[in-house]
């Protein structure tokens, strides 16, 4: 943690601030209206880990985004207050600071805006409204004094914006690059990865067509283009209701979801934000840093291992007319699949592979 903080000593330039970059990642842009300070980050970490900020005192952000599991929960779909299950797999918040939009359908534009969503989501923290969040904070003198110091405000001036800002500042410290692949590709260290992983990195960029969406730039690799695609996951759920619904939409009728399950609604993906039929079943391209630590995979957690992810892409996804043209049968050999797997496993940050380092960020 300490060495990460030293990376966050910002460089100021024309009103915006960048943190210094980590090997394999671009410099992080810090919003001008929410500068990083040590005390704000501490406050954000407290909020992130505080179970009092939930309907029954059982759930914090860290219940689902667990530091020891690379900020995921290892479950197929998330579990919130009173054991209720959601419809989506918990993504890691490591490097979420680099995404241009937040959530798998991109429905929020910033970490600040995203942070309040889970607290009032009935199956996550389950709080009634934003007022309920503020009441919990106001009852704790320690929070109040931190809040007033960090934001230079009077207690009565406290709003949920301050809470979102503090959590976002903490999340901007959850940065993890510097993997064996980063050392090989950007650090010019030929011995950092195996020959198999090196071959896998070429398959990833060429025959596998992966880097078309999971982008690798000249100086860094976010492994995301921040766009949304249907890669043929979860269509079977939607199929029974889709045709009738599409026909109704084409007629200009008001869409009727009353017979749909929560899972079916979730499967609409990016459509929920844009209301454009072309966006049905599209989800944001996720980063692949530390992907070996974040099973199970995909928005619905339906793919259990990286081997199975590779099989999924090899067959061109579950076929449906919505699958993106960039996903097609690859005809990889057994060796090519093994190489691609070795490559994906070389994306684990050094801070997670050092046996003596212990869980990061605690
Ligand atoms: C019950 C489990 C759960 C809890 C509690 C929870 N999250 Fe999440 N988080 C999820 C799931 C599931 C998603 C994906 C949901 C979606 O995209 O619709 C997500 C998405 C996110 C994302 C977006 C990541 C991306 O890839 O776009 C961020 C950031 C995040 N959560 C931070 C938080 C913060 C901050 C809190 C506490 C205020 C929190 N989460 C509480 C399960 C949880
Ligand atoms: C058309 C763009 C596109 C292409 C091409 C593509 N991906 Fe993806 N990838 C995505 C999207 C979008 C998701 C998320 C889909 C979802 O959640 O349903 C994803 C998810 C993944 C995941 C799961 C990540 C997680 O955290 O759940 C892995 C691993 C992955 N892709 C690897 C690959 C590999 C390897 C290839 C090449 C064989 C590849 N991708 C090709 C867009 C793409």
CB 54 within 8 A of CB 81: yes
**Ligand 2 atom nearest 91 alpha carbon:** 26
Peptide bond into 28 cis (omega under 30): no
The verdict on the CB of residue 124 being under 6 Å from ligand 1 is yes
CB 97 within 8 A of CB 171: yes
Site residues for ligand 2, CB cut-off 6 Å:
208-210, 212-214, 229, 231, 233, 283, 285-286, 288, 291, 294, 297-299, 306, 309, 313, 324, 326-327, 340
What per-residue confidence (pLDDT) applies to 14? Answer: 40
**Ligand 1 atom nearest 266 alpha carbon:** 18
Q: What separation in angstroms does the CA of 156 have from each of 50, 85, 119, 173, 184? A: 22, 36, 21, 29, 53
Q: What is the pLDDT of residues 26-49, one digit of tens each?
A: 999 999 999 999 999 999 999 999
User: Residue 198: CB partners within 8 Å, gap ≥ 6?
Assistant: 184, 343
Q: What is the pLDDT of residues 65-94, one digit of tens each?
A: 999 999 999 999 999 988 899 999 999 999
Confidence of residue 18 (pLDDT cuts 50, 70, 90): low
CA 250 – ligand 1 centroid, Å: 33
The verdict on the CB of residue 61 being under 6 Å from ligand 1 is yes
Distance (Å, whole) CA 270 – CA 284: 8
Burial of residue 317 (number of CB atoms within 10 Å: 0-12, 13-18, 19+): buried
CA 362 – ligand 2 centroid, Å: 29
Burial of residue 206 (number of CB atoms within 10 Å: 0-12, 13-18, 19+): exposed
Burial of residue 250 (number of CB atoms within 10 Å: 0-12, 13-18, 19+): exposed
């Amino acid at each position: 943690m300490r060495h990460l903080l030293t990376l966050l000593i910002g460089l100021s330039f024309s009103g915006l601030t960048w943190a210094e970059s980590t090997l394999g990642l671009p410099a992080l842009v810090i919003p001008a209206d929410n500068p990083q300070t040590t005390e704000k980050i501490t406050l954000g970490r407290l909020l992130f880990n505080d179970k009092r900020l939930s309907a029954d005192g059982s759930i914090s952000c860290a219940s689902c985004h667990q530091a020891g599991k690379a900020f995921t929960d290892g479950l197929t779909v998330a579990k919130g207050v009173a054991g209720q299950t959601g419809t989506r797999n918990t993504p890691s918040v490591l490097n979420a600071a680099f995404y241009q939009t937040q959530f798998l359908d991109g429905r929020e534009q910033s970490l600040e805006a995203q942070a309040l969503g889970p607290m009032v989501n009935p199956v996550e923290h389950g709080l009634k409204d934003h007022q309920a969040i503020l009441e919990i904070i106001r009852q704790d003198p320690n929070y109040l004094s931190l809040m007033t110091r960090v934001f230079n405000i009077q207690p009565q001036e406290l709003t949920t914006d301050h809470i979102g800002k503090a959590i976002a500042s903490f999340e901007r410290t959850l940065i993890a690059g510097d993997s064996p692949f980063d050392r090989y590709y950007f650090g010019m260290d030929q011995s950092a990865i195996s020959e198999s992983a090196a071959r896998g990195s070429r398959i990833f960029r060429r025959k596998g067509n992966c880097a078309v969406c999971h982008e690798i730039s000249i100086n860094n690799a976010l492994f995301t283009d921040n766009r949304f695609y249907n890669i043929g996951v979860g269509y079977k759920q939607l199929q029974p209701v889709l045709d009738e619904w599409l026909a109704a939409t084409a007629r200009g009728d008001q869409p009727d979801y009353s017979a749909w399950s929560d899972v079916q609604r979730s499967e609409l993906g990016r459509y929920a934000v844009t209301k454009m039929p072309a966006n049905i079943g599209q989800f944001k391209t996720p980063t692949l840093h530390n992907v070996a630590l974040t099973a199970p995979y995909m928005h619905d957690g339906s793919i259990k291992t990286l081997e199975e992810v590779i099989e999924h892409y090899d067959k061109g996804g579950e076929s449906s007319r919505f699958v993106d043209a960039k996903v097609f049968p690859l005809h990889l050999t057994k060796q090519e699949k093994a190489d691609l797997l070795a490559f994906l496993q070389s994306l684990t940050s050094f801070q997670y592979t050092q046996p003596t380092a212990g869980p990061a960020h605690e």
